[in-house]
Chain A
Amino acid sequence: MTSAPGVDARIETYLNRLESAMRGVSVESKEDILREIRAHIMDSAEHSSDRAGAVDRVLRLLGTPEELASRYSAECQLERASRSFSPWVILRTCWQWAKLGIKGTLAFLVALFGYGMALGFTVAVFLKPFMPSKIGWWSGPEGVGIIVPDHPELMHEWLGNYFVPVIAAAAFLAAIATTHILRWMMRKRAPGLTVPVAEFGPAVEIQTPPAVKVRS
């Protein structure tokens, strides 16, 4: 049986690793989370005759500190991104979300397409004054595009001097629409999405202490 100091050291190591691994979580929330996890470990172990075994069991059920931290971080980042208008914050969050499942992957693809289109349009707007004959809204047998085609004689440029204002507006609208779609997807996300489905499978043992009288 492990000695009490050894058990306490394991708890402290776990909590220290959890604290270090939580990124994007406010200091206040971090302190609250650590306090709650500590209380949970204490609760789970204090009524057990084998304290070391009980602590080992609860640490196993909590998952590694890094796994647990990633869930808190993902929830915090998604919550913050769902209220943000920053494409960079939203894109970065979608990348993290994509690692967690299909909805996240879909959101990341939407982000790549929408923000990629907005970026492409913006670059074209800035290049137009320097390359007036090569940048335009071309269409014809070779398709549609904004860079001069291989056979310009077969293509028609539609926007002329209106290219800059029209494409600038299109870039703005693409960015705004993508942002709103992704914010909506984040708000509509399922609870517990940061948890793999496999964790809802076979039953695990839960050891609970007897009810404790509470002073309000």
Chain B
Amino acid sequence: MTNNANGDRGQHWEAQLRKGCLEMAILASLWQSRLYGLEILRALSEKSQLEVAEGTLYPILSRLKTEGLLDSEWVEAEAGHPRKYYWLTASGRRRAREMAGAWHEFAGRLSVLVQPIMGGR
């Protein structure tokens, strides 16, 4: 197997991992405050280096709202145009807490497993 093939596979694996974590990341970004779409993108990018394209984010926000995990409201800004702010519902906060707990436990266990690999760097 070539290095290139390994690299492509590695990138694909990482992309799958990012995709799998996206719902938790979006819910987590809204844990402390109401945000509109661009602010959610900024939070994901700045706090976790999770770069998500706009065309990816908005349909997912729409779905999370349909599921009752998020709610939203159009807010008029003093300057500029209205923005659609999202926030976690009670159900969304519950889901976020469950996902964060599961993630913490999972990551902790895997960390033990990969420790020898990281130590060998």
A→B interface (CB under 8 Å): 29, 32-33, 35-40, 42-44, 46, 58, 61-63, 67-68, 71-72, 75, 79, 190-192, 194-195, 197-204, 206, 208-209, 211-216
Q: Is B89 an interface residue (CB 8 A)?
A: no
A38, A40, A79, A216, most chain B CB atoms within 10 A:
A40
Contacts of B54 in A (CB 8 A): 40, 44, 58, 61-62
Q: Is B39 within 8 A of A208, CB to CB?
A: yes
A-B CB pair tally, cutoff 8 Å? 134
Q: Is B79 an interface residue (CB 8 A)?
A: yes
Q: Is B41 within 8 A of A208, CB to CB?
A: yes
Q: Is A200 within 8 A of B59, CB to CB?
A: no
Q: Is B53 within 8 A of A61, CB to CB?
A: yes
Contacts of A35 in B (CB 8 A): 74, 82, 84
Chain B at the A interface: mostly helix, strand, loop or mixed? helix
Given contacts A204-B53, A208-B41, contact A37 B59 (CB under 8 A): no
Given contacts A208-B41, A212-B78, contact A39 B62 (CB under 8 A): no
B→A interface (CB under 8 Å): 11-12, 14-16, 18-20, 22-23, 36-39, 41-42, 45, 49, 51-56, 58-60, 62-64, 66, 74-85
Tell me, in angstroms, the Cα distance from A214 to B35 when the chains sit together: 11
- List 12 extra interface pairs beyond A33-B58, A36-B58, A62-B54, CB under 8 A: A29-B62, A32-B84, A35-B84, A39-B81, A43-B83, A61-B53, A61-B55, A62-B55, A68-B58, A191-B63, A201-B14, A214-B85
Partner of A200 from the list B22, B38, B66, B77 (CB cut-off 8 Å) is B22
Contacts of A195 in B (CB 8 A): 19, 55-56, 59-60
Partner of A68 from the list B14, B19, B55, B83 (CB cut-off 8 Å) is B55
Q: Min CB distance, A204 to chain B, in Å?
A: 5
Tell me, in angstroms, the Cα distance from A27 to B55 when the chains sit together: 20
Tell me, in angstroms, the Cα distance from A40 to B54 when the chains sit together: 9
Q: Is B41 within 8 A of A192, CB to CB?
A: no
17 sampled A-B residue pairs with Cβ under 8 A: A32-B84, A33-B58, A36-B37, A43-B36, A71-B56, A190-B23, A192-B19, A192-B60, A195-B60, A198-B15, A206-B42, A206-B51, A208-B38, A208-B41, A212-B77, A213-B78, A214-B75
